[in-house]
Every structure is written in structure tokens, then in C-alpha cells.
Amino acid sequence: MNAQLELLSITDPLTGLYNRRKILQDIERESLRVDRYNCNASILIFDIDHFKTINDNYGHIEGDLILKELGELIKPLIRATDVFGRWGGEEFIILFPETNLASAAIIAEKLRKAVEEHIFTNGKNITISIGVGTLIKGRKVEEVIKEADHMLYRAKESGRNRVEYINKENEQKP
């Protein structure tokens, strides 16, 4: 019974992925590891492009089906050690332990392309926009999440269906 309650407290009821509370706990824990061992980890925040249009045109049930299927599509494309969850609404977040910015950007592009090429069960195609941030020693979790979120919005402003991040020199990628 306690195990069931624990699972319910960390799981998003719609997608079955981790919820925001669980993701934040894992990111905080990983931040401590990053600081102690001077390694890095990366965070992707992504959401579905024009999701409001899907809900408006086809209804929330169709939107929910897309959210679930998106989770099922992404899960096998990441490692078992990565932490994947629903951030809220149509936004998702993935924590990649032991992953630098360059590797995270490659993974993000692979995920973006997989979603773009997938035909969802209801016959629809969707795209996602992705923002990437990296935890390094001394960086606060809030700062990295804010960076990934800012990059997500930059991806949307730049035309959607793209990956955005800040490179090592602290400049936006070309």
C-alpha cells in the first residue's frame, strides 16, 4: 500500500511519467553529485508546437492521446538512467546525468527528429521545440532550468521545431 502511494505521489496521472515534484527532487540530487564530483548533467525542456490548436480543433481527449503517445515515443529513445517527466501542460523535461552540453544537443536533435517523423495513432504529425541547459559545478538548479526554459522560448520564437542552447562561450548557437 505504501509503495502504491509513493508511486502515485511521483507520477503524472495522464502520461504515467514522473511528475514535476519527482523531477525537481532528482535534479536537486544530481546537482549535488555534479558539485561533488565536478561532472555535468544536462536538462532538456520541450513542448509540443501549436498544442492549443490541437485541443481547440480536435478536443482535449485527442490532445491527451498525443501527450501519452509522445511519452511512449520518447521513453525508449533515452537511457534507463535518464529521468523523464511531464513538467506541466504540454511541457516535458528530461534530466541527463553525466551528459555535457554537446551530447545533450545531439540527443535533443535526435528526439526532435523522431517526433517530427512519427505519425501518431490518430494520424496526426506534431513537432516539438526544445531548450537545453547544463548543470556544471557551482551552477544553481533554478539557473539551469531557467536557461533551458529561455532556450525553449527562443526555439519557438525562431520558428519552432528546433533545438536551442547556449554554447560554452555563453553565446547562442548559430
Please list the active-site residues: 90
Angle between helical axes of 60-74 and 101-117 (0-180°, round to 10): 130
Angle between helical axes of 141-157 and 20-37 (0-180°, round to 10): 120
The amino acid occupying position 116 is E
Q: Are 161 and 112 in contact (CB under 8 A)?
A: yes
Q: Are 26 and 82 in contact (CB under 8 A)?
A: no
- End-to-end Cα spacing for the chain: 52
Neighbours of 62 (CB within 10 A): 16
Beta bridge partners of 46: 92, 130
Beta bridge partners of 130: 46, 163
Q: Are 40 and 83 in contact (CB under 8 A)?
A: no
